[in-house]
Structure formats: structure tokens, C-alpha cells
Structure 1
Amino acid sequence: MLKHLGQVGLWLSRQGLDAADLDEKRVNQHLSDLQQAGRRRVAGPRGMVPLMTYLREAGVVPAPQVTPSPAEVLLERYRCWMESERGLLASTMLRYANTARRFLTEQAMVDGEFTPEGLTGADLNAFLLRECTRVSAGSAKGRVAELRSLMRFLHLHGAIPMKLGGAVPPVGGWRFASVPPTMAASDVQRLLDHTPRDRTVGVRDYAILILVARLGLRSIEVARLLLDDVDWRCGEIVVRGKGRREDRLPLPADVGEALVAYLSGPRPHLKARHVFLTCKAPRGPIRADLVGDVVERACLRAGSSKVGPHRLRHALAADMLRHGAGLTAIGQVLRHQDLATTALYAKVDFVALRAVAQPWPGTEAA
């Protein structure tokens, strides 16, 4: 990045321009000039985004003067409504806004003009059918809630004449209709064993993996973990879960050792009190999606099929069930609010189910 900055500075000098004259158009011209000069390795426009972002934050390059489109204006009003009227979290507002942008772009644009007043129930059905072909049933149910929220906002603010929220069809998806995907405890252990711990990244990844595998933490719970959440004297850990819940869990010895090994290494001097930090600049707390990357890299090293962090959570519940733990205990470890959610894992204990299964009429028991 320093090399890119130096090249841009030399190019501006040759062109007789100042840093304040720099924008995306001139950056593209600079990259084109480098290619015409025979440079073999030239960054693309996306590679220059961090540089332009830094220069704008430092006040060296003025912010671009962009006139928002009518759709962007409406989406900004929608975000403000979700925050002020509905009190949604930032992550939830981002998901709702992304669905709203995609829906309005696909269904409310006619010949390049933004016409939300012409939306109908058929537009909602068409969009939802397309979504169902590419996402799971659970995600499709989320699209229903997101679309109904958008329709409520559009009607309240006079963008559409009719209440179209009731026109959003529900998505079929019945509880206990399927067996939750899981994996054997040996496969989980293989992921841990194939995680190298000779470098800082490996030590951090191992600590993340063992937290997910032994305590069933969600990705966002790993990312939210603070240094003050680990009570070393009592051997407990505070987990900040869904709905602003805080639960205390016992800290197993192997999990504690993995955390000590990671926290004993060099750490940057940051104001953030998060346990897990990025290992590359810009240094700071990890995002929740990094946990999925850690699990994916572990699967590649172990030669296993790719799974997500939630699969390790399912594996923990299945292993506890096989070792005789009751559903109440499993629900406490996984921090389920409803025992009916935990009951879903009773279906993965095939050994116990075979003991109570009745033979099919007219056949002998297997």
C-alpha cells in the first residue's frame, strides 16, 4: 500500500496536480498509465479503495459529491425508521436494508425509473420465489419478515397506496421435519489436531475452534468475547448471546489453556478489550464471519468436507446426548430459551431410537 501511495504521488507530480485533485477517475487513469508503461503487476480499482478511504478520512482528498438516487433516499429513510421506530440492532438493520435494496432494484425499477407505487402482490411473490431457490427454508422465512417490514414502512410513509404486507406468502418449513446435520466427535477432534500452533494465527485459531467445539459458542458470541468475561478464579466464562442475554458457563481446562496460550502472546496496544483480534492490519476485534473462515481452513487442513461453525455446535449437542446428558442440560449449555429447540437434537441419537423403534408390520425386527 505504501508503494501504491508513492506511485500515485509521483503520477500527480508529473501531471501537475495536487492531492486534493485525486478522485476515482484519476486513479483509474493512473492505473491505465502504469499498464501502458509496461508494468506487470498493477493493482485494480478495488486494490486502491483502502488508499482512497484513508486519504478521505485524513481530509487530504475531498469526499465525492454524489447525488443519491430516489431509491437510496427511500432506503435511508427506511434505515432511520428501523432505528428510531423499531429499535433494531445495527446487524438486523443491515440485513433488512440489503433485502429491501435487492427487492426494490429488481421489482420497483421500470425502464430505469424508480416506481415503488406500482408494486403489487405478484411482485412480492416473484421475488420470494427467486429467493427460495437460492437460500434455505430458514433464510426464506427471514425474507418474509424483512419484506413485511418494508411493506409496512412503504405504506406508512405513503410510498405505496395499499397494505401489501399481508400479500407476502408464508414459507413452509416445519419444526422437527428434518434431522439436524452433525458430525462425529472424532471428526471435530481431527479439526483441532490439524490446527498448527507454532504461530500467532494458529494459536488464535485453535482457541476459537476449541471454544466453538467444547462450549458450542456461536460465531457472534466468539467475536463479542471480552477479556473481562473470563473469570479465571471461578473458572467461568460470560457469554453474550442473542437478545442481549448474558450466561455464565464453566470454563473447561483445555479451553482455558488454549486461551492462556493465545493471550500470553504479543498483543497490539488497543483500547478494545476483545479477546480475539485480527493478526493483520488494520488491527482490531475480529468479525463474526472470521470464525467461519477459521473452521473452513481447519476442514481443508484435515481433509474433511467443509462445514460451518454451527455444525460444531450440533456435534457438541449430539455428543452430550450420546454420553447420557439430558435435554435440559444440553439446553443450558447451548443457551436455548425454549426446551422445544433442544428437543430437535433427540432425533440424532439413532442408537437410542433403534432400541424403541417398532418393526414394520409384517417384517422381522432388524
Structure 2
Amino acid sequence: MWDRTGCGKTKPCWARVTGPLAPFADGFRAESLRLGHTPLTAATHLRLMAGLSNWLAEHDLSVSALSDAAVVAEFFESRRAAGYTGLISPKALQPMIAFLREGGALPPSVTPAPADATESLLEGYAVWMRRQRGLAETTVALNLRLVRPFLAGRVRADGSLDTEGLSAAAVNAYVVDQAAARPRSAKRIVTALRSLLTFLHVEGMIDSPLAASVPSPAGWTLAGLPKALPRSQVAALLASCDKDTGTGRRDTAILLLMARLGLRAGEVAALGLDDVHWRTGEITVRGKGGRCDRLPLPVDVGAAIADYLRHGRPTGALARTVFIRAQAPFTALATAAVIQVVDAAGRRSGTGVTGAHRLRHSAATAMLAAGGSLEEIGQVLRHVRPATTAIYAKADLPALEPLARPWPGTRAGT
């Protein structure tokens, strides 16, 4: 049932919820508004709750039945059969399910038990990577995906894993096969495999430290050139942001942090309000492996952040990070969203697919062009090894010109 008093395109129609979900209707409505949803969106959520509650009552089901994915799927199947074209997938129920779980009306979601020995081992490996190695979730997920085929090849007929029989020869044979089948991914597969073998040895699942026996695929250090953007393209990315809107102010600050200080996408997403030290003109950057560094805050970058904080950041933000989603719920901006900000700016400016990491290269080459040394660039980019920064020496053409030998039959400088 709906209370249509005063309804219109800009005024919400609040549904009257009856049935088993009725006791939670007022709280869910208030929570939707607290999360930053507009009244129209909150009213849509409430109408879905009303429809679900009626369906549960018709089938003599309680609220606890929503813990069963089959029950939820059946509800949406009946909704589609009734002719609804919107809110017809289980994803539409996520805000309501989260609210019911937080209030104790539904039990917390339970991670399913590992289906077999391989998944059980990978579960322990994931915990080890997070706790012992301090790896980011994206890295953990990538390592799991890359080593799963290796473990799948060690499954015995009875379903158990043969880790005791692992040998350097078996590892080498697997790497050679993968290098032939997936040459572009060979280096990353080797890195993940070494990590897995270290875990197996630490946990006592293999006797020998086989990580050192993993062969390295052929490769040449510093073979490529840093893929930096010209200054004109960086300027075009910044100019493509509409600074009259909150989203445009946010995106401008994000792009400047990446193009001027070389921050990675994950570091931009993790930047907190307490990490900006206005009095000293510095920011704290939380990088790989839990590393924290302080960097000077350039005036133009600080001005862009301040402009976003004062005139663009949602007042009802639910996180202490600097950058917040532009639409409700106003939670922290994820790393993937930061990457999308760069990609969207590339499309708007006509520079094409830019890639967030290219702005890090652009920051380095800009510092080099301004007279910065490789050591200073390494400090700003927070490289652990000087060799990582050495690739930017190839971009310093004026410094390389005196080292170039003349072509036979010509004079130097011609």
C-alpha cells in the first residue's frame, strides 16, 4: 500500500509496510536518509521492502528466511513474472539486508567452508599474505588466481593435495610450461609461485625452501621507456574536470596528487583527513606494505584539496578519508574508483585510455625536466631501490646527448 498524499516527480511516495518487515520500516527509512540517499531513492527502497514483506506474508515466511539465497531468488522471479522492470535482481536488496543484519534481525553473512583441499590451503595462504606479508587485497586476490592452477595439478585421485612430493624439477617444469603458454604473465606468475612456496615451507608443508629454485623468465632490466604523458595532455586531463561541481573539484584534486606527487591510485584512496597537515604543508602517504612517508604538499595541490573539502565533499560523509563517493552511500572512494576517475578524464580530454600509473611516470619526468636528480625523484616516489628510479635516466635526453657517439662518417653534434 502507498500513501500518495503530495506525490509527484519530485516528492516521494512512502509505502506503508505491512507483514513481517513492518517493525523495521521506520528504521530502514531513517537509515537510507542517513546514508545520504535522496528521499526519492529512500522511498524506492521502502517500496521494495513493502513488496517483499507482502510476499513473505503470502508464503508464510519469516524475516529469517531472507538468509536463504533461494528464497530471495524466488521473490525476484515472481517480481519479474509480475511485469516489474526495475529492482529485479538480488543486488537491489543489499541495502535492506545490510540494515537487517546490523540490527540483528538476520544473522551475519557466513563465508562458506572451503570446498576441497585446494581451497582450504588457499584460504590459509590468503590469511598469511594479509597478516604476515601485509599485502593489499588486490595483490592477495591476484596471487590466489595465479597459483590456483599450480595447486590444481597437485591434486591426487582421492582429492588430497600432494605437497610432500613437490620438487625443484616439478616447479621448473611448471614455470617453463607457463612461460610458453602465457609469456606476458610469466614474471608475475613466478612472483606468486615463489610466495606460495615460501608459505608452504614456513607452514611445514614442504621440507625444502623451493622458492629459491623457481627459475626467472628471460627479461631485461630497464628495457623499456617510462610511459609519461606530455605536459599538454596532463593539462588537458585537468581542464576536462568541471570545477563548478563537487565531483569535478574532487577529480581535480585526485589528478593533481597523481600528476604532481606521483601517488598511486591506492594511496590516493587511502588518504585520510588527518593525513593532510595544513600547518606544516605536508601529507602522510600510506603506501605499499604499510609504509608511511611524509611528502611536501605543493600549493596548487593543497588548494585543490581545500577547494574540494570546502565546496565538494559531501557533508554526510561516512568515512574519514579525503575522497568520498559522489553518490550515496557517501563512503570512501575505492581504489578502482580512483582509476576510473583517470580513465574518465582521458576520455573527456581526448587523450584516450590514460592509465593511472602513467601519471606517476609523468610526475617523475616533470621533476627530471625541472632539474631534479634521480635521487630526489626516488625519494618523492618512495622507491625502495635506486635501480627502480634509474629508468627515468633514459627520459633525460639533454643529459644523454653528450654521451652519444657520432654515426660513422658524420661529425659529433650533427
When normalised by structure 2's length, the TM-score is 0.75
Structure 1: distance between partners of 2:323 and 2:298: 18
Contact 1:181–1:314 (CA<8 Å) still a contact in 2?
yes
- Residue 83 of structure 2 is matched in structure 1 by 38
Alignment of 1:43-122 (within 5 A): 43-49=88-94, 51-62=96-107, 63=109, 66-70=112-116, 71-82=118-129, 86-91=132-137, 93-101=140-148, 103-105=150-152, 107-108=153-154, 113=159, 115-117=161-163, 120-121=170-171, 122=173
Mark the structure with the bigger radius of gyration: 2
Cα offset, 1:304, TM superposition:
1.0
Any gaps of 5 or more consecutive residues in structure 1? none
Q: 2:134, 2:289 within 8 Å by CA — same for their partners in 1?
A: no
Q: Is the 8 A contact 1:116 1:159 kept in 2?
A: no
Q: 1:262 and 2:313 equivalent?
A: no
Deviation at 1:312, TM superposition (A): 1.1
For the pair 1:8 / 2:52, whether they are aligned, the reply is yes
1:239 aligned to 254, 266, 285, which one? Answer: 285
Structure 2 match to 1:320:
367
Map Cα deviations across residues 263-294 of structure 1 (whole Å, 9 max, x no partner).
11354456743222222333222222222111
Q: CA deviation at 1:103?
A: 4.1
After TM superposition, list the pairs within 5 Å mapping 1:136-175 onto structure 2. 140-154=186-200, 157=203, 164-166=210-212, 168-175=214-221
d(CA) in 2 for partners of 1:66, 1:271: 29
Offset at 1:67? 4.2
Q: C-alpha separation between the residues in 2 aligned to 1:202 and 1:288?
A: 18
Letter of the structure 2 residue corresponding to residue 149 of structure 1: S
Q: Percent of counterpart pairs with the same letter?
A: 41
**What code does the residue aligned with 2:59 have?**
Q
1:327-350 C-alpha deviation (Å, 9 max, x unpaired):
233233323343332221121133
For 2:113 and 2:383, how far apart are their aligned partners in 1?
46
Question: In the alignment, is the contact (CA less than 8 A) between 1:195 and 1:206 conserved in 2?
Answer: yes
Encode CA deviations 1:126-170: one digit per residue, 9 max, x unaligned.
34554544x4xxxx4343232123234335656568765455321
Aligned length: 359
Runs of 5+ consecutive residues of structure 2 not aligned to the other structure: 1-43
Normalising by structure 1, what TM-score? 0.83
In 2, distance between residues paired with 1:67 and 1:335? 40
C-alpha deviation, 1:321, in angstroms: 2.1
Q: Is structure 2 residue 390 aligned with structure 1 residue 343?
A: yes
Q: Is the 8 A contact 1:207 1:258 kept in 2?
A: yes
d(CA) in 1 for partners of 2:207 and 2:377?
Answer: 49
Q: For the structure 1 residues 49 and 147, does the alpha-carbon distance in structure 2 shift closer, same or farther, using more than 3 Å as the test?
A: farther
Q: Distance in 1 between matches of 2:360 and 2:325?
A: 23
2:407 aligned residue (357, 360, 363) = 360
Give the drift of 1:356.
Answer: 3.9
